[in-house]
């Protein structure tokens, strides 16, 4: 008998709490302190950079499980290609992460013509290392 009473009380408590949350939650989104995150791939070039034509190799940057180093090709003052010279590839997990992240980083960097790219979810260390190496290459091309 005690179990039935305790179960009934628990269920009633959850129902009351749920109704309370539903009625008070209607205005909760109006006071949300965390803004909605921007959608991915919303970058647009904020400035037109005048890169010198040539091939520039960035400094290696630590991605925790290995180094990331990129080579940038500038043609007609624009980034036309990015090659990964080094990247973590000695573990299956690193290979999977980087085979997913590298094309995204390359495509976005060429699109925005700068190192102002989004960090790829699940590849934070590789993304940050890419940005650092890419920035060092671009600094030589300015």
pLDDT digits (tens, 9 = 90+) for 91-128: 999 999 999 999 999 999 999 999 999 999 999 999 99
Q: Which two tokens stand for residue 87?
A: 């990247």
Examine the domain organization and report whether 67 and 136 are in the same domain. Answer: yes
User: The domain containing residue 133 runs over which residues?
Assistant: 54-141
Q: Residues of the chain with pLDDT > 70: what percent?
A: 72
Q: Quick one: residue 14, left, alpha or beta (phi over 0 = left, psi -120 to 50 = alpha)?
A: alpha
Examine the domain organization and report whether 64 and 133 are in the same domain. Answer: yes
Cα–Cα separations (whole angstroms), residue 119 to 3, 30, 122, 129: 52, 29, 9, 10
Residue count of the chain = 142
Number of structural domains in the chain? 2
Q: Is residue 130 part of a domain?
A: yes
Max Cα–Cα distance, the chain, nearest Å: 84
CATH number for 65:
3.90.1010.20
CA distance linking residue 142 with residue 134, whole number of Å: 13
Q: pTM of the full predicted structure?
A: 0.67
Given a cut of 90, whether residue 70 has pLDDT beyond it is yes
């Amino acid at each position: 008998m005690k179990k039935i009473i305790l179960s009934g009380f628990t269920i009633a408590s959850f129902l009351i709490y749920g109704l309370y949350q539903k009625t008070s939650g209607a205005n909760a989104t109006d006071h949300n302190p965390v803004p909605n995150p921007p959608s991915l791939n919303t970058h647009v070039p904020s400035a037109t950079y005048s890169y010198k034509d040539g091939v520039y190799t960035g400094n290696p940057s630590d991605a925790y499980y290995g180094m990331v180093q990129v080579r940038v090709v500038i043609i007609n003052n624009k980034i036309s290609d990015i090659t990964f010279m080094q990247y973590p590839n000695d573990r299956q997990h690193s290979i999977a992460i980087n085979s997913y992240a590298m094309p995204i980083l390359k495509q976005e960097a060429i699109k925005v013509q700068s190192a102002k790219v989004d960090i790829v979810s699940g590849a934070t260390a590789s993304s940050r290392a890419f940005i650092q190496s890419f920035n060092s290459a671009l600094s030589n091309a300015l």
